[in-house]
Structure 1
Amino acid sequence: MLKRKIAAALAAVCVMAPVSSFASGAIPDHRGTSMEGIAIGTESVNSNVKSYFDLFKEYGDQYGVDPNLLASICQQESSGINWSHRDDGSEMPAWGIMQIEYSLENAFAQFGKETTGVEWTLEDRLDPEKSISFAAHLISEMLIHYDCDYLKMIQGYNFGQTVLDRIIAAKGDGWMSERANAKSYVQNWQYATYGDAQYVEHVLRYYKQYMVYSGAKVRVNGELVKFENQYPIIENDRTLIPIRGLLESLGAEVEWDHANYNAIVERDGVRVVLPIGSQTAYVNGNAVELDVPAELRNGRTMVPLRFITDNFGIDITWDQDTRTVNID
């Protein structure tokens, strides 16, 4: 990909039009394992799953996850039904519309405490909003771990990251062919099979562009940047970036002035003060206009990418196919 100056790269940052085939980027930021031969979007999600589209969109945008993928996983996991017990009355190990495993009890409780101030219980898995938000967070973490290889992430949602990592370590690029033998990679497993060896295919048959995917990724020197609580999004032809997540990865110091409701950033002799809700920022004391006001989303200060690049001298390239901002 050719190196381009900031203005040219930013001009290319636009809202991606809905696409219908994988070849043109059905999962826009996928990279890694080939999807050749996998049927995409041959079936549709049902009305139960569609009733949660607003939540898939909200938490997909927050955690940098394609909401259409959340819907597809929900369809495969539960058909949008809040399962907790089998027909015979026995308790299922995974509950809720996203089928959160009981083995994730501690992670689920901690996530609740970090996001709401209250530890969530296993029963909270039956709350669709809590289930979806945790699933989006979990998927976001796996996307970082697997460097945006969506096939690994999808299978990891079913097998668990630990088991899938063992398969990948043993078989490398041939990991998909080894999925049927997953049982041999699980310690003390007493059942005949483990997980769904065709989980990737089963999920992707439901994958369509039901909702607009607003997410974008950022790579610094080739490494994905992990953002806390809010990922970059594309709105009205602008890429909005959480300044702390990006600029701290570039060595900046970011502070929050609660008394004045300002975010303060210092890097390489440049000091920027960003009053929340104002379209005016101050760069080394000089007033500078933003395209849109700085705003708080999920506790993170969001500003247009153009403002960051213009005022901190950061060169970028934009990869439209993977919706990724690259900073070298």
Structure 2
Amino acid sequence: MPGFNFTGLTTPSTFILMGIPGLEYLHIWISIPFCSMYAVALIANSVILFIIKTETVLHEPMFYFLSMLAITDLILSTSTLPKMLGIFWFNYHEINFHACLTQMFFIHAFSGVESGLLVAMALDRYVAICNPLRHSSILTNAVVGQVGMVALLRGLVLMTPHPFLVRRWPYCQTNVVPHTYCEHMAVVKLACADISINSLYSLAVIILIVGTDVTCIFLSYIKILHSVFSLPSKEARLKTLSTCGSHVCVILTFYIPALFSFLTHRFSRHIPLHTHILLANMYLLVPPMLNPIIYGVRTKQIRKCVTQIFMTNIS
């Protein structure tokens, strides 16, 4: 694997992505589940988008937000997996400096977008359960588009400083990044400068996005549970709660790997580097794979449309 040292203060033309340090001999085997998850994510999210676009019965706020989530998942997984598989299969470790910054921006920005969309979907569930008679008048197509645009712009704006901050630092020791992709702190730690501004800004953005979004989701579900347990019958309560099941599963799928990745990176010095990198990869691979499956299995309308398309093709 190529690597370079720098004797002066400079900006490297390329970075070298190591892959998973300490597990290089397992790269080819690790690539099998990674590639499988990527294939499932591509196919399942594409199917979700096709069904929502072609079936007019699914032209509702919840499914519009789901289509935005599917697009975000496709961008997230495609930002990392092709290059990662190039490392695992062909030992192609080099990445252009500006391509590295672009990858970094897309990964972090659309992670923020996905978190915002989960809040939007919580808003949809809140209105549908707590104010069902006004659901269609509150969440109009225009409002849904505006909410999606806010989630997109927030992720893009808050993450834009990351590549610019990385670009300003000199790199005088090495350009070898001990990671499978251009993760922000993994790249910044190579700089020959005080990077505290990067670390503080990154932490502030994470706290702002995750703290705000988790709080909003938590408060919305307190309201939802209050409304649900006010219903007169057990059957009605269970039926209403079941409409939130898919969203809750997606929330857990997104935030739990993110939490473990964040905690191991920030606060534990005793966890092996390859464990942190594997967790960081799971954070970017598992949600895009599971989100469409969760909604496809648990949502009656999607399940029915998939069955109809499948039966039509067979006949």
Per residue, is there more helix in 1 or in 2? 2
Please report the TM-score for the alignment, with normalisation by the length of structure 2.
0.25
For CA contacts below 8 A with separation 6 or more, give which structure has more relative contact order. Answer: 2
Please report the TM-score for the alignment, with normalisation by the length of structure 1.
0.24
Per residue, is there more strand in 1 or in 2? 1
